[in-house]
């Protein structure tokens, strides 16, 4: 018998979504899933090195928050080592993310970062961070500069919101508590999105924290906290829209706890032997992509054929990304010290 936390109910009848918006969400989730599957293939074929952490299963969180509620390319995003899909949702082209994984000079971090360090100033992707919780204060810094530009420098265009993605394990790290305190104190335009996938490598969440309901931790900072079914993109989009509106209005941050699950091991080096079959099956049955596909067809927002056409188009985009990455040059060793410090390009 699997003991699963009850997923919060969401009334799909309250959803207002156009065909265009629905297809955008579907496309973004399929992009994330297809990209990660191709990554696994390329990793096992020896095309990339080091640790690679895939996002399969969690797509509704990245797509629902960034594509469903933010202005990608204007708003800021920070991530963890599980960062490829956040970068894609933020608008970093798949070929640049793939090239980064291959360590090529055309990668979004110019081949210096690799899997855990996707960065793009153009797309306001503040980075993937390998240290657990490292991206949380960085996102708060971005939110602080927005507030400072608006309130101190008088720039009315400075209304960007920062979204900060991290795992359940990160929510036990001191940086989480310190940053939540300051963000609430200063009413920063930020949303904290904890992707509670129940595990921190092999440590079960309930064994590592005194209050497993992470969203409740917001209350001690006088911050709004909300839990959401992280396998339902429409539910994620709804809570994220509310949180983003609050942040943009200057009413302060929100902690969103998305209950989700990773469909693969912690990294591609993990044999994934600790999680039970029953637990995996509980979550596999809640595949967020299938759930949205069913909704779109049932609501007559899309036909099965239209969705298949998107799948094919994404597959082509990913195949092209691999070709681009393979044919791109390695960084030049003579430039080893370049990009260590900021420079004008
Ligand atoms: C400060 C720090 N401590 C320990 C590690 C080793 N480590 C890497 S991933 C990880 C688990 C984090 O789990 P979680 O935050 O739930 O994210 P998930 O992998 O589930 O997405 C740990 C402990 C690290 N990278 N950084
Ligand atoms: Mg986790």
Sign of CA dihedral 318, 319, 324, 327: positive
Q: Does residue 94 form part of some domain?
A: yes
What is 11-79 written as a DSSP string? -GGG----HHHHHHHHHHHHHHHHHHHHHHHHHHTTSS-S-----TT-HHHHIIIIIHHS-BTTBEEE-
Residue 267 near residue 53 (C-beta atoms within 8 A): yes
**Domain interval for residue 310:** 17-324
Ligand of minimum distance to the alpha carbon of 266 = 1
What is the total count of domains within the chain? Answer: 1
DSSP letter (8 states) at residue 323: H
Task: Say which CATH number the domain at 81 has.
Answer: 3.40.50.970
Q: Exposed, middle or buried, 63 (CB in 10 Å: 0-12/13-18/19+)?
A: buried
User: What values do phi and psi take at 236, rounded to 5?
Assistant: -60, -45
CA 89 – CA 67 distance, rounded (Å): 6
Give the ligand 1 atom nearest the CA of 82: 21
Ligand of minimum distance to the alpha carbon of 267 = 1
Ligand 1 midpoint to CA 262 (Å): 14
Mutate to test the pocket of ligand 1, among 173, 175, 200 (most ligand atoms within 8 A of CB): 200
User: What is the predicted pLDDT for the residue at 2?
Assistant: 52
Ligand 2 midpoint to CA 159 (Å): 31
Mutate to test the pocket of ligand 1, among 86, 131, 169 (most ligand atoms within 8 A of CB): 169
Q: Does residue 344 form part of some domain?
A: no
Residue 193 near residue 65 (C-beta atoms within 8 A): yes
Residue with tokens 């608008």: 91
Give the residue, by CA position, lying nearest to ligand 1 atom 12: 200
Q: What does the block give as tokens for 189?
A: 């335009």
Mutate to test the pocket of ligand 1, among 81, 85, 132 (most ligand atoms within 8 A of CB): 132
User: What is the predicted pLDDT for the residue at 1?
Assistant: 43
Q: Does residue 7 form part of some domain?
A: no
Residues with CB under 6 A from ligand 1: 82, 130-132, 167-170, 197, 199-201, 266
Written as tens digits, the pLDDT of the chain (345 aa) is 456 899 999 999 999 999 999 999 999 999 999 999 999 999 999 999 899 999 999 999 999 999 999 999 999 999 999 999 999 999 999 999 999 999 999 999 999 999 999 999 999 999 999 999 999 999 999 999 999 999 999 999 999 999 999 999 999 999 999 999 999 999 999 999 999 999 999 999 999 999 999 999 999 999 999 999 999 999 999 999 999 999 999 999 999 999 999 999 999 999 999 999 999 999 999 999 999 999 999 999 999 999 999 999 999 999 999 999 999 999 999 999 998 888 776
- 225: helix, coil or strand? strand
Q: Does residue 333 form part of some domain?
A: no
Q: Does residue 73 form part of some domain?
A: yes
User: What is the predicted pLDDT for the residue at 138?
Assistant: 98
Q: Does residue 336 form part of some domain?
A: no
Q: Does residue 144 form part of some domain?
A: yes
């Amino acid at each position: 018998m699997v003991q699963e936390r009850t997923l919060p109910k969401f009334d799909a009848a309250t959803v207002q979504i156009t065909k265009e918006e629905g297809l955008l969400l579907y496309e973004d989730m399929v992009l994330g899933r297809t990209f990660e599957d191709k990554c696994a293939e390329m990793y096992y074929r020896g095309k990339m090195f080091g640790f690679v952490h895939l996002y399969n299963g969690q797509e509704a969180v990245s797509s629902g928050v960034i594509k469903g509620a933010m202005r990608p390319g204007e708003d800021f995003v920070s991530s963890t080592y599980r960062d490829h899909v956040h970068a894609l949702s933020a608008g970093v082209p798949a070929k640049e993310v793939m090239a980064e994984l291959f360590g090529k000079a055309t990668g979004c971090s110019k081949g210096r970062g690799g899997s855990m360090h996707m960065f793009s100033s153009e797309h306001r992707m503040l980075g993937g961070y390998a240290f657990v919780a490292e991206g949380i204060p960085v996102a708060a810094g971005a939110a602080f500069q927005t507030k400072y530009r608006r309130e101190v420098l008088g720039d009315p265009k400075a209304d960007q919101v920062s979204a900060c993605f991290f795992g359940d394990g990160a929510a036990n790290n001191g940086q989480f508590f310190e940053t939540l305190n300051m963000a609430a104190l200063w009413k920063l335009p930020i949303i904290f999105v904890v992707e509670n996938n129940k595990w921190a490598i092999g440590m079960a969440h309930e064994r590592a924290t005194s209050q497993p309901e992470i969203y409740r931790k917001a209350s001690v900072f006088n911050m709004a906290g909300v839990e959401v079914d992280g396998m339902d993109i429409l539910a994620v989009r709804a809570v994220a829209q509310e949180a983003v509106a609050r942040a943009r209005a200057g009413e302060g941050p929100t902690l969103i706890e998305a209950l989700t699950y990773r469909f693969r091991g912690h990294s591609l080096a993990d044999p994934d032997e600790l999680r039970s079959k029953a637990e995996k099956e509980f979550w596999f049955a809640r595949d967020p992509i299938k759930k949205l596909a069913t909704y779109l067809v049932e609501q007559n927002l899309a036909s099965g054929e239209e969705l298949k056409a998107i799948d094919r188009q994404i597959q082509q985009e990913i195949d092209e990304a691999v070709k681009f990455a393979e044919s791109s040059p390695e960084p030049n060793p003579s430039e080893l010290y370049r990009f260590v410090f900021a420079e004008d390009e």
